[in-house]
Amino acid sequence: MKPTTKPTTKPTKPVPTTYKQAGVDIDKRQEVMKNFINLMQKTFKFRDGGIGKVLMDVGNYANLVEFGDYGIAFKTDGVGTKVLVAQELDKYDTVGIDMVAMNVNDLICVGAEPVALVDYIALQSVNEEILNGLSKGIYEGARRANVAITGGETAIVPDLIKGLKAKAKSKDKKGFDLSGTALGIVRKDKAIDGSKIKVNDIIIGFDSNGIHSNGLTLARKVLPKKFYPEILKPTKIYVKEILEIINKYDVHGLAHITGGGYRNLLRLTKYGFELQNLPDLNEKHTKIFAEIQEYGNINDEEMYNTFNMGIGFCVVTNKTDAAEILKNYKCRKIGKVITEHKVLIEMNDKKIEILKEK
């Protein structure tokens, strides 16, 4: 796993070699969130016996509430520290795509068709350039996902939003944060929750558009700024092809590969996943990961526990339907379902084992 170009300059200060050292401790987050999630799940009883009964446990990519024969799916997400890359480059017309993508890509994981989204923009100060850029990106994301932007909220909160420290003292205050909440719909009998996944099912991977919107806290701290245009590339939106596949084939599970890398697969089932055909790091859309690894001196396990490594979305299905999907869509077979609840990545002569909690 070596990049095609080697660093020409050494960092002037120590750089993190793990996501945790960069400031994002996924395992601690999972541990701390247990009590929070348990309390939230107790609220489900408030809707028992009426419209809005909750149909899934917390932990799925999105949840569903009952509305007659349908499940209404909800998802909320943001862009994370990718907004700092946009601020650094003074380019704001792509992160809106990321915001839409992070929400709609999660909605389709439960089989729901995204239909609407509301945005939330928090600004350090009123800035026409930022708002115009964000609106263009949100519109383009909505076009790609075929959703309506039905409203939102814009807040001016200078005491809360500071942006880049290096630019915080300038007159032109460009700090901002961006998130959204999306709504989708699916017939209850068509919802996908991973319960149909079986050992030896095939895992199909759809290529990412590079780093997407996860792992930026680590990537920003190890990469020189010459790579910032590459990591600003927007998250790919998978809505069109995945909805087609759901309607045509017997899909057992769907996974959006985001923060935490391939641990995301373990959210789907009690079974595990053996991955033997992930992209190598010489492909156009994966070279950025080789650069991150080289500049940060990051080991393979940490890379696959943090980044999508070239696969942004996974479909789990039976062998027969997998063969048809592979023939009719731009995707690749990346592995199969195994009995033990872990992700086993095999590449060359090396094996990486990923557990739900490290």
Copy the structure tokens of residue 54: 């909750």
CA-to-CA dists, residue 115 to 73, 74, 153, 185, 248, angstroms? 10, 11, 19, 7, 20
Secondary structure class of 181 (helix, strand, coil): strand
Residue-wise pLDDT for 302-325, tens only, equals: 999 999 999 999 999 999 999 999
Q: Give me the CATH number covering residue 65.
A: 3.30.1330.10
pTM, two decimals, is 0.91
Contacts of 313 (CB under 8 A, 6+ apart): 105, 205, 206, 208, 236, 238, 242, 254, 255, 256, 257
Q: What CA–CA distance (Å, rounded) separates 129 from 174? A: 9
Last residue of a domain, one of 162, 190, 218: 190
Sign, CA torsion 252/33/118/212: negative
- For residues 111-140, average pLDDT: 97
The confidence score (pLDDT) of residue 342 equals 96
Percent of the chain with pLDDT over 90: 79
Domain at 313, CATH number: 3.90.650.10
- Whether 90 and 160 map to the same domain: the answer is yes
- Number of domains comprising the chain: 2
The dihedral region occupied by 25, where left means phi > 0, alpha psi between -120 and 50, and beta the remainder, is beta
Which residues have C-beta within 8 Å of that of residue 180, sequence separation ≥ 6? 76, 77, 78, 99, 100, 103, 117, 118, 119, 120, 138, 152
pLDDT of residue 49 exceeding 70, the answer is: yes
Residue 23 in any domain: the answer is no
According to DSSP, residue 298 is labeled -
Residue 11 lies in a domain: no
Please check whether residue 99 is in contact with residue 119, taking contact to mean a CB–CB distance below 8 angstroms: yes
Last residue of a domain, one of 136, 170, 190: 190
Q: Is position 40 within any domain? A: no
Residue 249 is assigned to a structural domain of this protein: yes
Same domain, 166 and 202: no
Please check whether residues 207 and 152 belong to one and the same domain: no
Question: Which of 139, 157, 190 is the C-terminal boundary of a domain?
Answer: 190
pLDDT of residue 348: 78
Domain that holds residue 296: 194-354
Q: How far is CA 148 from the centre of its chain?
A: 21
CA distance 95 to 75: 18
Residues 285 and 298 reside in one and the same domain: yes
Whether 283 maps to a domain, the answer reads yes
- Taking the CA atoms of 289, 293, 299 and 305 in sequence, report the sign of the dihedral they define: negative
Q: Is residue 251 part of a domain?
A: yes
Give residue 358's pLDDT. Answer: 47
Type of residue numbered 46: F
Of 229 and 56, the structure prediction assigns the larger pLDDT to 229
The 10s digit of each residue's pLDDT in 274-303 is 999 999 999 999 999 999 999 999 999 999
Burial class (CB in 10 A: 0-12, 13-18, 19+), 131: middle
Q: How many CB atoms lie within 10 A of CB 223?
A: 23
Residues 201-213 have a mean pLDDT of: 97
- Is the confidence at residue 83, as pLDDT, over 70? yes
Rounded Cα gap, residues 276 and 286, in angstroms:
16
* pLDDT value for 110: 97
* Claim to verify: residue 141 and residue 202 sit in the same structural domain: no
Model pLDDT, residue 8? 47
Whether residue 182 is found in the same domain as residue 226 = no
Q: For 324-345, write each residue's pLDDT tens digit.
A: 999 999 999 999 999 999 999 9
Of residues 142 and 16, more confidently modeled? 142
Q: Is residue 25 part of a domain?
A: no
pLDDT class for 168, splitting at 50, 70, 90?
low
For residue 302, what pLDDT is reported?
93
User: Is residue 253 in a domain?
Assistant: yes
Q: Both 160 and 235 in a single domain? A: no
